[in-house]
Amino acid sequence: MPETSTAIADIHMLDRGYSREARSLLYQAYRHEPTFAYLFEAERPGYEQRVRATVRELVKQHFAQELPAIGLLVNDRLIGIALIAPPQRRLDVTESWAWRLRMVLSTGLRCTRRYLEYHAAVAACVPGEAVHVLPLLGIHPQFQGKHFGEQLLQAVHNWCAVDEHSRGVVLDSGNPRYLAFYQRQGYEEIGEVAVGPVREHVFFHANPQVLHTATA
């Protein structure tokens, strides 16, 4: 996710009215990701439909729980999004039997099991309950390389830092292209998970007040 431009997007808190745009953007952002390629069997017919279904169910559940989402808009077009699970309201989507059933029906039992195992392994790396977690985030491929990824993360950090009970932000990636980018944004790696042949890296970014307390 190299960032070279200085373009500025409008930052908005999103609600379920943006569900369709959010699903479309996140599908474009994740369909070529190594982690999703393994979880949903890119080598088998129907891969794109399985990715679409997974993104649809995750976005649907997120907005149904009225959890926060930050979006970047350029000329009223959604070009970047981060779904946020706050510490006080971080309900585990995978614990919903209705969600699991919809996943099995739309992606198959094997892919659903793979996703649940991946989700549990990443969750085991999260440093306690007092953190914000980003289950999905992305910049539309047409707008990558233009500084928007940095803007999106900065907006997330600013929003999460208002919560004095949060230690920081956690995200994960199995794409080696993004690892150095996250480190430049102040993330440190706190765990690594094997997702089939993919090495999933779990990152943590401390909130400013946490850094201040540690250095005071």
Q: Which two tokens stand for residue 97?
A: 């039997």
Query: What are the pLDDT digits (tens) for 99-156?
Result: 999 999 999 999 999 999 999 999 999 998 899 999 999 999 999 988 899 999 999 9
According to the model, what pLDDT value does residue 120 have?
Answer: 93
Residues 174, 118: contact at Cβ < 8 Å? no
In which residue are the tokens 């279904």 written?
Answer: 53
In 3D, which of 191, 202, 168 has the Cα closest to residue 84? Answer: 168
| Residue with more model confidence, 168 or 212 | 168
Q: Is the pLDDT of residue 91 over 90?
A: no
According to the model, what pLDDT value does residue 178 have?
Answer: 95
Query: What are the pLDDT digits (tens) for 18-34?
Result: 999 999 999 999 999 99
Q: If you ran DSSP here, which 8-state letter would residue 65 be given?
A: T
> Average pLDDT of the chain?
91
Residues 63, 16: contact at Cβ < 8 Å? yes
Count each helix (H run) and each strand (E run) in the chain, helices first.
Answer: 8, 8
According to the model, what pLDDT value does residue 87 have?
Answer: 87
Query: Considering the entire predicted model, what is its pTM?
Result: 0.91
Model confidence at 89, pLDDT cuts 50, 70, 90, reads low
- Collapsed DSSP state (helix, strand, coil) of residue 173: strand
The letter for the amino acid at 16 is R
Phi and psi (nearest 5°) for 80? -155, 150
User: Among the listed ranges 19-33, 43-57, 84-98, 177-191, which one has the minimum average pLDDT value?
Assistant: 84-98
Model confidence at 1, pLDDT cuts 50, 70, 90, reads very low
In 3D, which of 147, 168, 149 has the Cα closest to residue 159? Answer: 168
According to the model, what pLDDT value does residue 158 have?
Answer: 94
According to the model, what pLDDT value does residue 209 have?
Answer: 64
What CA–CA distance (Å, rounded) separates 114 from 112?
Answer: 5
What is the fold of 10-215?
Aminopeptidase (3.40.630)
Q: Is the pLDDT of residue 215 over 60?
A: no
- Collapsed DSSP state (helix, strand, coil) of residue 59: helix
Q: Is the pLDDT of residue 160 over 50?
A: yes
What CA–CA distance (Å, rounded) separates 52 from 112?
Answer: 14
Query: What are the pLDDT digits (tens) for 39-83?
Result: 999 999 999 999 999 999 999 999 998 999 999 999 999 999 999
Q: Write down the domain spans for the chain.
A: 10-215
